């Protein structure tokens, strides 16, 4: 067996660190021969599986999973004017089948409104058919001309979870928007990833939406990453695609719609927020290996120690945890290195001394050590995993807070933006936002919906001085 030993660049050099950790921890291989397309290693895929399992289980409470085709005929795709304008430079087109030119070119979905809504028009007849809450997890495509980056800016987004709901009234759809935001908050709490919620400015909303709420997080380099969006579509699409229902009074009405999505950027955030100089740090629910057992074998007691280790494995497995014994013939240190890189939350070391004292040394991924009694292993392992999650969650939350600054003096904004996000008063006008963006090179992300973060009360626009609300400004990925 070959021992690994080369270390990662320090996390302060975030961009290099991120590129390296993806392949060293076997998340993604970037060597696929097309720009912006990447390969999931089995370890990375196992993280993806666990992450999307969480997302599915949250959605399954009151959504249903479904699946619509990838290929959207140009005739449907071109129906909604704003929508086309938003996507026309980003769409891949299939124009040939075999040796033949296709009569109607087919778009690879960049998102599925125009694939799903013609079917909704067929399915929905009466108010009794509503609400509809469907979702799918699919690959979507963007012809990115900018610099691509694995899990962040892709040409094939392999893991787009998109939900599409239909309601009777605008208000009901708004309730769904809020429910979706809550669901996304809950999802990210499970990933221990802290988020900021804001309402995107008018010019940055989803093409064809009434408004867009975005979930951002702040990456270690201080830049924001949009890791979820929720759109109130009003009746824009229902008017285009003829999605109508008969209401209680027998009148035909256009339906009100929402859609909301999360892509594999959630995994980029997971990796970037928690990882350290030694590799991935994974919340236990999404770790492919949750508990690693390393038998430390010295001398002739191999068999005895392996029996002890196997007993512990059985106990931990019985708790429904994903556990693994690493019994390779390499130094324990090399095993620690290997599995720390891959983000195992809890390691159990089992040597001759532990065997004699009926003990087990537990070492969490953040270094916290606990000597356990063999008898209490089941409960303690579960407890240690929970505590580990709490620690990484708190520490991520602390880092997020530390890189958000409230600024009321335009002169201070530049240096504050170097470290992260700033909250300023903003009147809501495009001209002031433009002024701000020109001055800072950063973007107005929108009005902050976390009162706890922005502070309560009124404020004045940092540019024009008129009454305004708290807005987020940040350098966005």
- Member of 143, 170, 254, 477 binding a copy of itself (CB under 8 A): 143
Min separation Cβ 161 and a copy of itself, Å: 14
Min separation Cβ 274 and a copy of itself, Å: 22
Task: Provide the CB-side half-sphere exposure for 397 (13 A, CA).
Answer: 13
Looking at the DSSP bridge assignments, the partners of residue 214 are 198, 229
Min separation Cβ 105 and a copy of itself, Å: 8
The string of DSSP letters for 298-362 reads -TT-HHHHHHHHHHHHHHHHHTT--EEE---SS-HHHHHHHHHHTT-SEEEEE-HHHHHHTEEEE
User: Are 280 and 341 a contacting pair, CB within 8 Å?
Assistant: yes
Q: Does 1 contact a copy of itself by CB under 8 A?
A: yes
DSSP 36: T
Select 32 or 430, whichever has its Cβ closest to a copy of itself.
32
Select 6 or 128, whichever has its Cβ closest to a copy of itself.
128
Q: Outline where DSSP puts E strands in 186-251.
A: 196-199, 211-218, 224-234, 244-246
Q: CB count, 10 Å around CB of 372?
A: 20
Q: Which stretch binds a copy of itself (CB under 8 A): 90-98, 361-369, 370-378, 398-406?
A: 90-98
Select 111 or 454, whichever has its Cβ closest to a copy of itself.
111
Burial zone of 469 (CB within 10 Å; 0-12 exposed, 13-18 middle, 19+ buried) = middle
Tell me which residues in 119-138 interact with a copy of itself (CB under 8 A). 119, 122-123, 128, 134
Pairing of strands 291-295, 359-364: unpaired
Please give the structure tokens belonging to residue 317.
Answer: 């497995």
User: Are 280 and 330 a contacting pair, CB within 8 Å?
Assistant: no
Min separation Cβ 65 and a copy of itself, Å: 5
Q: Does 71 contact a copy of itself by CB under 8 A?
A: yes
Site residue total, a copy of itself (CB under 8 A): 57
Report d(CA 243, CA 254) in Å as an integer.
6
Report d(CA 192, CA 100) in Å as an integer.
50
Q: Does 325 contact a copy of itself by CB under 8 A?
A: no
Pairing of strands 156-167, 132-141: antiparallel
Report d(CA 371, CA 349) in Å as an integer.
10
- Member of 108, 163, 287, 433 binding a copy of itself (CB under 8 A): 108
Select 98 or 299, whichever has its Cβ closest to a copy of itself.
98
- Member of 17, 18, 22, 48 binding a copy of itself (CB under 8 A): 48
Q: Does 170 contact a copy of itself by CB under 8 A?
A: no
- Member of 7, 10, 32, 376 binding a copy of itself (CB under 8 A): 32
Q: Does 65 contact a copy of itself by CB under 8 A?
A: yes
Min separation Cβ 205 and a copy of itself, Å: 21
Looking at the DSSP bridge assignments, the partners of residue 136 are 162
- Member of 12, 67, 202, 373 binding a copy of itself (CB under 8 A): 67
Select 50 or 219, whichever has its Cβ closest to a copy of itself.
50
Min separation Cβ 206 and a copy of itself, Å: 19
Select 69 or 333, whichever has its Cβ closest to a copy of itself.
69
Q: Which stretch binds a copy of itself (CB under 8 A): 111-119, 242-250, 302-310, 425-433?
A: 111-119
DSSP 78: T
Closest CA to 475 of 444, 431, 433: 444
Q: Does 38 contact a copy of itself by CB under 8 A?
A: yes
Report d(CA 285, CA 265) in Å as an integer.
18
Report d(CA 161, CA 138) in Å as an integer.
6
Binding residues for a copy of itself (CB under 8 A): 1, 29, 31-34, 37-42, 45-46, 48-49, 64-71, 73, 75-76, 88-100, 104-106, 108, 115, 118-119, 122-123, 128, 134, 139, 143, 145, 155-156, 158
């Amino acid at each position: 067996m070959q021992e690994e030993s080369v270390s990662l660049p320090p996390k302060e050099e975030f961009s290099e660190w991120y590129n390296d950790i993806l392949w060293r921890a076997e998340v993604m291989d970037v060597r696929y021969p097309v720009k912006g397309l990447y390969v999931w290693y089995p370890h990375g895929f196992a993280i993806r599986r666990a992450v999307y399992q969480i997302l599915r289980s949250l959605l399954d409470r009151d959504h249903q999973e479904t699946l619509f085709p990838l290929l959207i005929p140009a005739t449907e795709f071109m129906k909604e004017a704003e929508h086309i304008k938003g996507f026309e430079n980003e769409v891949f087109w299939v124009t040939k089948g075999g040796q033949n030119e296709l009569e109607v070119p087919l778009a690879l979905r960049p998102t599925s409104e125009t694939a799903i809504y013609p079917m909704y028009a067929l399915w929905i007849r009466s108010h009794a058919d509503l609400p509809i809450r469907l979702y799918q997890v699919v690959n979507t495509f963007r012809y990115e001309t900018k610099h691509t980056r694995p899990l962040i800016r892709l040409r094939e987004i392999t893991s787009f979870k998109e939900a599409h709901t239909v309601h009777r009234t605008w208000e009901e759809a708004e309730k769904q928007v809020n429910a979706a935001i809550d669901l996304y908050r809950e999802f990210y709490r499970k990933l221990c990833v802290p988020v900021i919620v804001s309402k995107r400015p008018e010019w940055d909303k989803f093409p064809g939406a009434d408004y867009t709420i975005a979930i951002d997080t702040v990456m270690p380099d201080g830049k924001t990453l949009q890791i979820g969006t929720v759109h109130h579509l009003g009746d824009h699409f229902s008017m285009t695609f003829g999605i109508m229902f008969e209401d209680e009074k027998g009148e035909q009405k256009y339906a009100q719609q929402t859609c909301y999505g999360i892509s594999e950027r959630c995994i980029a955030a997971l990796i970037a927020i928690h990882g350290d100089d030694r590799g991935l740090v994974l919340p236990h629910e999404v770790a492919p290996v949750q508990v690693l057992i390393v038998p430390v074998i010295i001398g002739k007691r191999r068999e005895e120690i392996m029996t002890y280790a196997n007993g512990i494995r059985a106990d931990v497995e019985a708790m429904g945890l994903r556990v693994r014994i690493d019994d390779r013939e390499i130094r324990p240190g090399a095993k620690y290195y290997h599995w720390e890189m891959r983000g195992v939350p809890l390691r159990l070391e089992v040597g001759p001394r532990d065997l004699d004292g009926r003990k087990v040394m537990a070492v969490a991924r953040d270094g916290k050590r606990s000597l356990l009694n063999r008898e209490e292993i089941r409960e303690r392992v579960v407890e240690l995993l929970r505590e580990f999650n709490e620690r990484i969650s708190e520490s991520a939350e602390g880092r997020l807070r530390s890189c958000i600054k409230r600024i009321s003096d335009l002169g201070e904004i530049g240096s504050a933006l170097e470290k992260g996000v700033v909250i300023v008063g903003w009147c809501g006008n495009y001209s002031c936002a433009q002024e701000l963006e020109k001055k800072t090179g950063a973007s107005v992300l929108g009005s902050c919906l976390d009162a706890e973060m922005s502070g309560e009360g009124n404020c004045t626009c940092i540019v024009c001085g008129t009454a305004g609300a708290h807005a987020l400004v940040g350098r966005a990925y």
